[in-house]
Structure 1
Amino acid sequence: MIDFLSIAGGGFLGAISRYAVSRKWNRTLLPYGTLIVNLSGAFILGLIAGSGLTGHYFLFAATGFLGAFTTLSTLNLELAKQVMERKYKVFLIYAGMTYIGGLLLAFAGFWIGNSM
Protein backbone atom coordinates (compact mmCIF):
# COMPACT_ATOMS: atom_id res chain seq x y z
CA MET A 1 0.00 0.00 0.00
CA ILE A 2 2.86 2.39 0.78
CA ASP A 3 4.14 1.91 -2.80
CA PHE A 4 0.84 3.14 -4.20
CA LEU A 5 0.78 6.12 -1.84
CA SER A 6 4.36 7.01 -2.77
CA ILE A 7 3.52 6.95 -6.48
CA ALA A 8 0.25 8.82 -5.96
CA GLY A 9 1.88 11.54 -3.87
CA GLY A 10 4.69 12.02 -6.37
CA GLY A 11 2.26 11.93 -9.28
CA PHE A 12 0.07 14.59 -7.71
CA LEU A 13 3.02 16.93 -7.20
CA GLY A 14 4.45 16.17 -10.64
CA ALA A 15 1.17 16.87 -12.45
CA ILE A 16 0.65 20.17 -10.63
CA SER A 17 4.25 21.18 -11.30
CA ARG A 18 3.94 20.39 -15.01
CA TYR A 19 0.73 22.38 -15.23
CA ALA A 20 2.38 25.39 -13.57
CA VAL A 21 5.46 25.29 -15.83
CA SER A 22 3.40 24.76 -18.99
CA ARG A 23 0.99 27.53 -18.12
CA LYS A 24 3.82 29.99 -17.62
CA TRP A 25 6.10 29.03 -20.52
CA ASN A 26 3.90 27.62 -23.35
CA ARG A 27 2.92 31.00 -24.74
CA THR A 28 5.21 31.24 -27.74
CA LEU A 29 5.70 29.50 -31.07
CA LEU A 30 8.05 27.01 -29.40
CA PRO A 31 6.38 25.30 -26.41
CA TYR A 32 9.12 26.06 -23.88
CA GLY A 33 7.10 24.71 -20.94
CA THR A 34 6.96 21.21 -22.39
CA LEU A 35 10.62 21.48 -23.37
CA ILE A 36 11.58 22.54 -19.83
CA VAL A 37 9.69 19.71 -18.12
CA ASN A 38 10.99 17.05 -20.51
CA LEU A 39 14.62 18.16 -20.43
CA SER A 40 14.73 18.70 -16.68
CA GLY A 41 12.87 15.41 -16.19
CA ALA A 42 15.43 13.53 -18.30
CA PHE A 43 18.26 15.01 -16.24
CA ILE A 44 16.60 14.33 -12.89
CA LEU A 45 15.67 10.76 -13.85
CA GLY A 46 19.27 10.14 -14.92
CA LEU A 47 20.44 11.60 -11.61
CA ILE A 48 18.06 9.36 -9.64
CA ALA A 49 19.01 6.25 -11.61
CA GLY A 50 22.70 7.00 -11.30
CA SER A 51 22.47 7.63 -7.58
CA GLY A 52 21.02 4.18 -6.95
CA LEU A 53 17.94 5.53 -5.16
CA THR A 54 15.51 2.65 -4.48
CA GLY A 55 12.35 1.76 -2.66
CA HIS A 56 9.63 4.24 -1.79
CA TYR A 57 11.88 7.21 -2.55
CA PHE A 58 12.44 5.95 -6.10
CA LEU A 59 8.73 5.27 -6.57
CA PHE A 60 7.83 8.73 -5.28
CA ALA A 61 10.44 10.64 -7.30
CA ALA A 62 10.92 8.63 -10.51
CA THR A 63 7.66 6.79 -11.07
CA GLY A 64 5.30 9.25 -9.42
CA PHE A 65 6.71 12.75 -9.74
CA LEU A 66 8.65 12.43 -12.99
CA GLY A 67 6.06 10.13 -14.53
CA ALA A 68 3.47 12.88 -14.15
CA PHE A 69 5.85 15.82 -14.65
CA THR A 70 7.27 14.77 -18.03
CA THR A 71 5.09 14.19 -21.05
CA LEU A 72 5.67 12.30 -24.27
CA SER A 73 2.07 12.59 -25.45
CA THR A 74 1.97 16.40 -25.25
CA LEU A 75 5.35 16.60 -26.95
CA ASN A 76 4.17 14.44 -29.84
CA LEU A 77 0.93 16.40 -30.20
CA GLU A 78 2.88 19.67 -30.29
CA LEU A 79 5.26 18.23 -32.89
CA ALA A 80 2.34 17.00 -35.00
CA LYS A 81 0.75 20.46 -34.84
CA GLN A 82 3.99 22.03 -36.08
CA VAL A 83 3.95 19.72 -39.11
CA MET A 84 0.24 20.28 -39.80
CA GLU A 85 0.83 24.04 -39.66
CA ARG A 86 3.82 23.61 -42.00
CA LYS A 87 6.24 25.04 -39.43
CA TYR A 88 8.97 22.60 -40.38
CA LYS A 89 11.86 24.66 -39.03
CA VAL A 90 10.21 24.93 -35.61
CA PHE A 91 9.43 21.20 -35.75
CA LEU A 92 13.08 20.30 -36.40
CA ILE A 93 14.41 22.66 -33.74
CA TYR A 94 11.90 21.48 -31.13
CA ALA A 95 12.34 17.77 -31.90
CA GLY A 96 16.12 18.09 -31.96
CA MET A 97 16.30 20.06 -28.73
CA THR A 98 14.00 17.63 -26.98
CA TYR A 99 15.40 14.29 -28.13
CA ILE A 100 19.10 15.10 -28.41
CA GLY A 101 19.06 17.41 -25.39
CA GLY A 102 17.07 14.91 -23.33
CA LEU A 103 19.47 12.09 -24.12
CA LEU A 104 22.52 14.22 -23.27
CA LEU A 105 20.93 15.44 -20.04
CA ALA A 106 19.94 11.91 -19.02
CA PHE A 107 23.55 10.80 -19.52
CA ALA A 108 24.82 13.83 -17.57
CA GLY A 109 22.38 13.18 -14.74
CA PHE A 110 23.31 9.52 -14.59
CA TRP A 111 27.02 10.36 -14.56
CA ILE A 112 26.59 12.95 -11.79
CA GLY A 113 24.32 10.65 -9.79
CA ASN A 114 26.81 7.81 -10.13
CA SER A 115 29.60 10.11 -8.91
CA MET A 116 27.79 11.03 -5.72
Structure 2
Amino acid sequence: MSGAVCLLLVAAGGFAGAIVRYRLSQAIAKRFPSPLPYGTLTINATGSLLLGIIAGGHAPQWLALLLGTGFMGAYTTFSTFKLESVRLGRQRTWGYFALYMVSSYGLGLIAAAFGLYIF
Protein backbone atom coordinates (compact mmCIF):
# COMPACT_ATOMS: atom_id res chain seq x y z
CA MET A 1 0.00 0.00 0.00
CA SER A 2 1.47 3.37 -0.96
CA GLY A 3 2.24 6.10 1.53
CA ALA A 4 -0.35 8.39 -0.07
CA VAL A 5 -3.09 5.79 0.35
CA CYS A 6 -2.09 5.28 4.00
CA LEU A 7 -2.28 9.03 4.62
CA LEU A 8 -5.68 9.27 2.96
CA LEU A 9 -7.04 6.42 5.07
CA VAL A 10 -5.78 8.02 8.29
CA ALA A 11 -7.09 11.45 7.23
CA ALA A 12 -10.55 10.11 6.31
CA GLY A 13 -10.82 8.19 9.56
CA GLY A 14 -9.59 11.17 11.57
CA PHE A 15 -12.11 13.48 9.91
CA ALA A 16 -14.99 11.17 10.77
CA GLY A 17 -13.72 10.43 14.29
CA ALA A 18 -13.39 14.11 15.19
CA ILE A 19 -16.92 14.88 14.00
CA VAL A 20 -18.42 11.92 15.87
CA ARG A 21 -16.53 12.85 19.05
CA TYR A 22 -17.68 16.48 18.87
CA ARG A 23 -21.34 15.63 18.26
CA LEU A 24 -21.48 12.82 20.83
CA SER A 25 -19.72 14.88 23.49
CA GLN A 26 -22.17 17.74 22.99
CA ALA A 27 -25.18 15.43 23.10
CA ILE A 28 -24.02 13.75 26.32
CA ALA A 29 -23.18 17.07 28.01
CA LYS A 30 -26.62 18.43 27.09
CA ARG A 31 -28.43 15.32 28.30
CA PHE A 32 -26.38 14.84 31.49
CA PRO A 33 -25.22 18.25 32.77
CA SER A 34 -22.72 17.69 35.56
CA PRO A 35 -19.33 18.85 36.80
CA LEU A 36 -18.16 15.34 35.84
CA PRO A 37 -17.31 15.28 32.10
CA TYR A 38 -19.46 12.31 31.14
CA GLY A 39 -18.98 12.99 27.43
CA THR A 40 -15.22 12.55 27.46
CA LEU A 41 -15.51 9.61 29.85
CA THR A 42 -17.97 7.86 27.53
CA ILE A 43 -15.96 8.63 24.41
CA ASN A 44 -12.67 7.40 25.85
CA ALA A 45 -14.22 4.22 27.28
CA THR A 46 -16.02 3.33 24.05
CA GLY A 47 -12.92 4.24 22.06
CA SER A 48 -10.82 1.92 24.21
CA LEU A 49 -13.31 -0.89 23.62
CA LEU A 50 -13.43 -0.33 19.87
CA LEU A 51 -9.66 -0.07 19.57
CA GLY A 52 -9.35 -3.32 21.53
CA ILE A 53 -11.77 -4.96 19.10
CA ILE A 54 -9.84 -3.65 16.09
CA ALA A 55 -6.51 -4.83 17.52
CA GLY A 56 -7.90 -8.12 18.77
CA GLY A 57 -9.61 -8.85 15.48
CA HIS A 58 -6.32 -8.55 13.60
CA ALA A 59 -7.78 -6.09 11.13
CA PRO A 60 -6.09 -5.77 7.76
CA GLN A 61 -3.67 -2.85 7.43
CA TRP A 62 -6.08 -0.58 5.54
CA LEU A 63 -8.81 -1.05 8.15
CA ALA A 64 -6.39 -0.59 11.05
CA LEU A 65 -5.22 2.69 9.48
CA LEU A 66 -8.75 3.92 8.73
CA LEU A 67 -10.40 2.94 12.01
CA GLY A 68 -7.59 2.32 14.49
CA THR A 69 -5.19 5.14 13.72
CA GLY A 70 -7.51 7.61 11.98
CA PHE A 71 -10.96 7.29 13.52
CA MET A 72 -9.94 6.22 17.03
CA GLY A 73 -7.04 8.66 17.08
CA ALA A 74 -9.44 11.55 16.54
CA TYR A 75 -12.41 10.06 18.41
CA THR A 76 -10.63 9.44 21.69
CA THR A 77 -9.20 12.43 23.45
CA PHE A 78 -6.44 12.11 25.99
CA SER A 79 -5.68 15.83 25.95
CA THR A 80 -9.28 16.80 26.75
CA PHE A 81 -9.29 14.23 29.55
CA LYS A 82 -6.17 15.82 31.06
CA LEU A 83 -7.53 19.37 30.67
CA GLU A 84 -10.81 18.43 32.34
CA SER A 85 -8.90 16.68 35.13
CA VAL A 86 -6.86 19.82 35.76
CA ARG A 87 -10.04 21.93 35.77
CA LEU A 88 -11.65 19.68 38.37
CA GLY A 89 -8.51 19.94 40.50
CA ARG A 90 -8.34 23.72 40.16
CA GLN A 91 -12.00 23.95 41.17
CA ARG A 92 -11.12 21.83 44.19
CA THR A 93 -13.90 19.37 43.44
CA TRP A 94 -11.79 16.53 44.76
CA GLY A 95 -14.56 13.94 44.77
CA TYR A 96 -15.32 14.52 41.11
CA PHE A 97 -11.60 14.69 40.36
CA ALA A 98 -10.94 11.31 41.99
CA LEU A 99 -14.00 9.70 40.43
CA TYR A 100 -13.06 11.00 36.99
CA MET A 101 -9.46 9.82 37.22
CA VAL A 102 -10.28 6.36 38.57
CA SER A 103 -13.22 5.77 36.25
CA SER A 104 -11.39 7.06 33.14
CA TYR A 105 -8.33 4.90 33.63
CA GLY A 106 -10.26 1.94 35.03
CA LEU A 107 -12.98 1.90 32.37
CA GLY A 108 -10.43 2.47 29.61
CA LEU A 109 -8.30 -0.47 30.68
CA ILE A 110 -11.27 -2.77 31.23
CA ALA A 111 -12.88 -1.78 27.91
CA ALA A 112 -9.65 -2.28 25.94
CA ALA A 113 -9.01 -5.64 27.59
CA PHE A 114 -12.59 -6.74 26.91
CA GLY A 115 -12.26 -5.67 23.26
CA LEU A 116 -9.13 -7.77 22.91
CA TYR A 117 -10.72 -10.66 24.80
CA ILE A 118 -13.84 -11.01 22.64
CA PHE A 119 -11.65 -11.77 19.63
Q: How does the TM-score come out when normalised to structure 2? A: 0.92
1:71 corresponds in structure 2 to 77
Paired residue type of 2:11? A
Q: 1:28-48: CA deviations, max 9, x gaps?
A: 211111011100000000111
**Inter-partner Cα distance in structure 2 for 1:12 and 1:31:** 23
Paired residue type of 2:71? F
Aligned Cα RMSD in Å? 0.8
Number of residue pairs matched?
Answer: 113
1:97 corresponds in structure 2 to 103
In structure 2, stretches of 5+ residues that fail to align are none
Q: 1:74-104: CA deviations, max 9, x gaps?
A: 0000000000000000001111111011101
Q: Does 1:88 align with 2:94?
A: yes
Q: How does the TM-score come out when normalised to structure 1? A: 0.94
In structure 1, stretches of 5+ residues that fail to align are none
Give 1:24 deviation, angstroms. Answer: 1.3
2:11 corresponds in structure 1 to 8
1:56 corresponds in structure 2 to 62
The 3-state SS of whatever aligns with 1:53 is coil
Give 1:60 deviation, angstroms. Answer: 0.2
What are the equivalent positions in structure 2 for 1:18-57 lying under 5 Å apart?
Answer: 18-26=21-29, 27-57=33-63
**Inter-partner Cα distance in structure 1 for 2:86 and 2:71:** 26
